[in-house]
């Protein structure tokens, strides 16, 4: 039960991060000045000292945040892998049990969805944070121009849209499962509400993340 709770809490923390990150990405629609200021503010390089200044020296928050986020990812993956191994050891023996297990959404997609999410995340961080896997852009451009240049490549936008779809499929089930694990799945009405919220969060994230690169590709942001 402790592992399930840890996976639920870390999963919800990561969903919260994605919602905030999506909101930050949408600042691209406000123009270069707003987006570049946002990027500098995150790193603690803005004139106001960034997040939690003066409680933390400029530039510290982003590293603390990255450490917490990395810890959440590692704990989430550890919980998922451990629970999966336990499920394999249980080895349901009846035909009906095996059929039910194969039919569940999590058994069919959650593990592969998590792997796809992790691989895409690593590439995404190397591309826009470390600037080591840039496809169409010199590394010396500011954040706004980097995003503009990269998402002018159609196949990159397509790949990004497919990756985000996989992420949101993972989130749709993960959101529902997390709240069920934490005790919110108490009735048929509660299940219906949780399912509706899970779909809403997944759709908001998909539209919010994909609309910006698509807008760049079609020249609506330039």
Domain count, the chain: 1
- DSSP of 89-151, one letter per residue? HH---SHHHHHHHHHSHIIIIIHHHHHHHHHHHHHHHHHHTS-SS-SS--TTS-HHHHHHHHT
Q: What is the pTM of this model?
A: 0.87
Instruction: Give residue-wise pLDDT tens across range 140-197.
Output: 899 999 999 999 999 999 999 999 998 998 899 889 889 988 888 888 888 899 999 9
* Sign of the torsion formed by the C-alpha atoms of 145, 149, 154 and 155: negative
91 within a domain of the structure (yes/no): yes
Q: CATH no. for residue 91?
A: 1.20.1300
Q: Which domain holds residue 8?
A: 2-217
pLDDT band (50, 70, 90) for residue 21: very high
Instruction: Give residue-wise pLDDT tens across range 77-134.
Output: 899 888 878 877 776 554 444 444 444 444 456 666 677 778 888 888 888 888 888 9
222 within a domain of the structure (yes/no): no
What is the per-residue pLDDT for 188? 87
- Nearest alpha carbon to residue 106 among 192, 7, 183: 7
180 within a domain of the structure (yes/no): yes
């Amino acid at each position: 039960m402790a592992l399930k709770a840890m996976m639920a809490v870390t999963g919800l923390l990561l969903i919260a991060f994605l919602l905030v990150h999506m909101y930050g990405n949408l600042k691209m629609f406000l123009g270069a000045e707003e987006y570049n200021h946002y990027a500098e503010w995150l790193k603690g390089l803005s004139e106001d000292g960034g997040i939690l200044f003066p409680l933390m020296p400029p530039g510290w928050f982003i590293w603390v945040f990255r450490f917490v986020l990395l810890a959440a990812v590692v704990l989430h993956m550890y919980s998922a892998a451990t629970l999966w191994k336990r499920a394999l050891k249980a080895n349901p023996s009846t035909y009906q049990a095996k059929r039910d297990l194969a039919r569940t959404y999590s058994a069919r997609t959650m593990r592969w969805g998590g792997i796809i999410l992790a691989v895409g995340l690593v590439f995404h961080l190397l591309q826009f944070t470390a600037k080591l896997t840039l496809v169409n852009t010199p590394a010396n451009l500011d954040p706004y121009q980097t995003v503009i240049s990269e998402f002018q490549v159609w196949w990159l936008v397509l790949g990004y849209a497919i990756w985000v779809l996989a992420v949101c499929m993972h989130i749709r089930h993960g959101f529902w499962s997390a709240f069920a694990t934490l005790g919110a799945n108490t009735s048929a009405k509660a299940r219906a509400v949780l399912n509706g919220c899970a779909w809403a969060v997944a759709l908001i994230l998909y539209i919010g993340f994909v609309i910006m690169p698509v807008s760049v590709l079609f020249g609506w942001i330039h």
